[in-house]
Chains A and B, each alone.
Chain A
Amino acid sequence: MELKAYAPGIYPRSDALVRATRDLDRGRVEQDAVDDQLERDLREFVAAQERAGLALLSDGMLGWQDLFRPLAERADGLVARPLTRFLDTNTFYRALLVDGKPRLADPVPAPELPAGRWLATLPSPLALARATGGGASPLALAASVLAPQIEAYAAAGCSLVVLADPFVAREGGVGELLSSLGELPQRTPLALQLPFGDAKPVLRELAEAPVQAVGVDFYATSLDSVPEDYPKEIMAGVIDSRSSALESPAEISAFVARLSQRSPAGLSLSTNGDLQFVSEGIAREKIARLGRFQTELRVVA
C-alpha cells in the first residue's frame, strides 16, 4: 500500500524568529529583520521536509499568528480581537468579531513552493464559524471566504488542502460541517483534520464528507473507534504535536499494522495537529521521524 506522510498546520518558529518578532514588538528592529528571518525559517523547514521525504511540502504557516488571523485580515466583515484559549492548551487565538458580511477581499498569497508538491492548511468552515462565536454561518464562510482562498491556492499549484477542525469532535455540529463542505471547490483534493480531539463521536458521520481523507488524532482517539472498512482515507495523526517525547518506531509500526487491519480506504501519516505546540528543535526531529515512518512502514501498511 502506498503510504504518504504530511505535516500540515502551524510549525513552530525558530528561537531566532521568536527573538526577531519580540524585538519588533519592542521597537528594537524593523519589519525587514523579521521578514528575513521568516525566509530563513521557511527555507530550513522546507529542507527538513525534503530530507524526510514527505510526500507534500508545507510552508509551516510561519507568518500566521493563529489559524484564523490572516483570513480575517484579508476579509471584509471580520475583525480579530478577543484573546481566546485554544481548546485545552495554554495557547490563545484571537476570536473573530463579525462586522458586516464576511467576504475575502484579497486571498492570502500562496507560498513559493514547487507547483504540484505542496499542501495548504485552512480552518474548516465550521471551525471558522466557531471562531466568530456564531456571528457568521459555516455555509456563508465556506462560500465567501474559504472557497476563494482555496481557488487561489489551486491556481498556484496546491495539491492538497487540509481543513483543520479542532472543534467538531468536541462540540459537535457534523451536519453543519457536512453542508458547508459542499460549498467548497473540489479541483484540489481536500482533507478534513480533527486536531487534538477524540474523533469517535463523529467518524461514522464524516464518512459522508466530500473530502478525500479524514485526519484522526490517535493520541486522543482509541484505535477501536475507527469503524471497520472505513470508506475514506485515514490521515493518521501518529506524531504527537503536544508532546515533547519522540515517537518510537516500534510503537508506530505496531500501531499502523493494527490500523491497517481495520481496512480503511486509504492510509496516510501525519501530525495530530499544529507542531507549534513543541519547540522548533523537537518539531524538526519529529518531522524526520515522520519521514522515516513513511518509508519504513510502506510494507506494514
Chain B
Amino acid sequence: MSDVRFLTREIGSLGKPSWRAKTFVGRPLEATDVAEAERWGKKLEVEGHEELLEGLRTGSLSRAQVDDWAAIYAIRLLEKVGLDVVYDGEQRRTEMYDHVAAFAQGFELRGTVRSFDNKYYAKAAVVETPSVGGPQDVEELEFVRAHTDRVVKVPLTGAYTMEDWSYDEHYAHEGALGASAERRYEARRRFVADVARNVILPNVEGLVAAGAEWIQIDEPAATTKPDEVPLVVEGFNEATRGVSAKKSMHICFSDYSALWPHVLELDDCLELQLEFANRDSREPGTRTEDRPGYADTLKLFKEHGYPNVGLGVLDIHSDFVEPPELVRDRILYAVDVLGDPERIQVNPDCGLRTRSWDVVYEKLAHMVQGARLAEHELNRAHAAPAQA
C-alpha cells in the first residue's frame, strides 16, 4: 500500500477585494483599498503587484485589467496556503446564478427576492428555451492555466439549480393553475434538460477542449425538493455527456439522505463534495459522538459505495478558524467510517466568499496542515510493525 495523500482544494468562490468590488460599481477607491492590495501583494508574493498599486492610485486600469489582477491574487492565495487544486476564486463572476443567467439567452431578470433578513438576491425568469452562442468560461480557464502550475478544477453552476432558482414563464406557465403534480414535474424536467443540453454542455465541451482536467458541477439546490433529485442526476449526466475530464458534484446545506439511491445513476462522477463542518462539533475527537456532522452522511457513502466523498472540513459561515487537529480528526473519522482513505479528498464546506481573506487564508492553511497531520497518522499506523 502506497502512502496516503489527500488532495486539498477549494470549492469555488472567494470574496472580492475591496479594490475590485469598488472599481466595478464605480465607487472611488480610498487609500485603505490600495493599502490592502499592497499588503496582500507582498504577503502572497504576487509578481509585479506594484503595477496594480500604481494603476489603482492613478485610476488607469480598465475593469478587465482589475479582473485579471483579482484573479491572480486569488490564485496566489490558494497556492500559498498549499492547495493541490486551484481556480481563481470566481473573481470574474458576479454570483453563481447570475453569471449564467446573464450570459445565456432565454433568461430575463425579474428583480430581487429576499434571501433572509435584509439580504436579497437577483432572480431571473426563463422566457424561452435557454441557449448559448458558445462556451462561457474558456477565457477564464485559459487565464487561470496561464498563471498556475497546479491542477485546475472549474466550478460550474448546475442545470437543476438554474431551474430551481428561476421563475418559469415558459415551460409550466400555461395551464399551471390547478394542474396535476405530474404535469408540474414534467415541466421542470424539460427545463432542466434544456439548460443542461443547451447551456451547460456547450461550456463543458469548450472547457475540456481548452484543456480543463476537472469539471465541478455545483448544485446547492439539489435536495430542495427531495422528489426531484432524479432531475439533478439527469441534469448532471446531460451536461457532462461524452466529455473526457474528471467530473464531480458539489452540494451544500441540504438533506443528503434524499440523494441516495438516485446519485448511483450519476455517470462517471468522481465524488460528491459536501458540506459537513457546518453541522459538526468544534471539539476534536474521532468517535462517532465527537463528529455529529459527519456520521449519518458518511454511513450513506459507506453503504452505497459510490461516489467518493469530498469532505467539507471548514465551516464557511463562521470566522472560527478550525485548528489543524480538528481537521485531522474529521478526516480520520471519515477514513474510519469508509475504511478506505482513497475514497476521501479534502475541501471547505462550500465557497468562502462570505469570509475575509485573512480568515480564508488561516482556514485554508489549517485545512492543509490538518490533512498532513491525518496523513501522518495513517501512514505511521500503516508503517508500524505488527505487534507480536
Contact = CB atoms under 8 A, between A and B. Distances in A.
Contact of B224 (A88, A221, A251, A282): A88
B177 A255 contact: yes
A91 B114 contact: yes
A279 B111 CA distance: 5
B385 to A, nearest CB: 49
B175 interface: yes
A31 interface: no
A218 B116 contact: no
Given A251-B175, A255-B178, A281-B111, A245 B116 contact: no
Contact of A85 (B121, B175, B180, B224): B224
Given A18-B120, A244-B169, A245-B173, A218 B178 contact: yes
A92 B178 contact: no
A232 to B, nearest CB: 18
Determine which residue in A198, A219, A255, A276 has the highest number of CB atoms from chain B within 10 A of its CB, and name it: A219
Contact of B110 (A240, A248, A278): A278
Contacts of A223: 178
Determine which residue in B175, B177, B180 has the highest number of CB atoms from chain A within 10 A of its CB, and name it: B177
B316 interface: no
A81 interface: no
A244 B117 contact: no
Given A243-B173, A245-B167, A93 B111 contact: no
Interface string B114-127: 11111011010100
A25 B118 CA distance: 8
B180 A245 contact: no
Interface in A250-291: 251-252, 255, 258-259, 276-282
Interface in B92-147: 110-118, 120-121, 123, 125
B177 A278 contact: no
B7 to A, nearest CB: 31
Interface in A44-98: 65-66, 83, 85, 88-94
A93 B174 CA distance: 31
B209 interface: no
Nearest to B117: A65
A21 interface: yes
A92 B118 CA distance: 11
B221 A90 contact: yes
A12 B112 CA distance: 9
Contacts of B168: 243, 245
Contacts of A43: none
A129 interface: no
A109 B253 CA distance: 36
Nearest to B168: A243
A258 B178 contact: yes
A244 B120 contact: no
A301 B339 CA distance: 66
8 contacts: A21-B118, A22-B118, A90-B113, A219-B176, A243-B168, A244-B110, A258-B178, A276-B114
Which 10 A/B pairs are nearest by Cβ-Cβ distance? A279-B111, A223-B178, A244-B167, A21-B118, A92-B116, A244-B110, A245-B169, A244-B125, A88-B224, A245-B173
Interface of A: 12-13, 15, 18, 21-22, 24-25, 65-66, 83, 85, 88-94, 198, 218-219, 221-223, 238, 240, 242-245, 247-248, 251-252, 255, 258-259, 276-282
Given A88-B224, A94-B117, 7 more contacts: A65-B116, A90-B115, A94-B116, A222-B179, A279-B112, A280-B111, A281-B111
